[in-house]
Amino acid sequence: VQLVESGGGLVEPGGSLRLSCAASGRTLTVYAMGWFRQAPGKERELVAGISWSGSSTYYLDSVKGRFTISRDNAKNTVYLQMNSLKPEDTAVYYCAGDYTSMPFKVTMSKDEYESWGQGSQVAVSS
């Protein structure tokens, strides 16, 4: 499956952005999906994950209550709504997909994701 992110940009602290990840080539129905981010000089980290059923989610502690991951399998798209953005949220954000037969699995390890988008820059600054 090919993944393309969109929706990044420059926003002031406290602002909001919504990232979208559109898939082509294959349905996302049986993919656990994740949003990762990588800041300069840092490891790529899982920010949020969602099972292909949509019933299970995971959030990095630092984004809980501010970010929401969701998916619309009919549109073959996954979203990351980011509110109350902070300068430390500045990074390149990547969506990723893990083909799995388990409907409630949230994939935690980046090594298990087979498909990756090209990344979308998010910058939070005044």
Query: pLDDT per residue over 22-62, tens digit each?
Result: 998 888 888 999 999 999 999 999 999 999 999 999 999 99
Amino acid at 97: G
Residues in CB range of 7: below 8 A, 6 or more apart: 17, 18, 19, 20, 120
pLDDT of residue 22: 96
Mean pLDDT, the chain, integer: 96
Q: Residue 6, Cα to own-chain centre: how many angstroms?
A: 11
pLDDT band at 108 (very low <50, low <70, confident <90, very high): very high
pLDDT of residue 28: 84
Residues in CB range of 74: below 8 A, 6 or more apart: none
CA–CA–CA angle 52, 21, 45 (5° rounding): 80
Residue 29, phi then psi, degrees to nearest 5? -55, -35
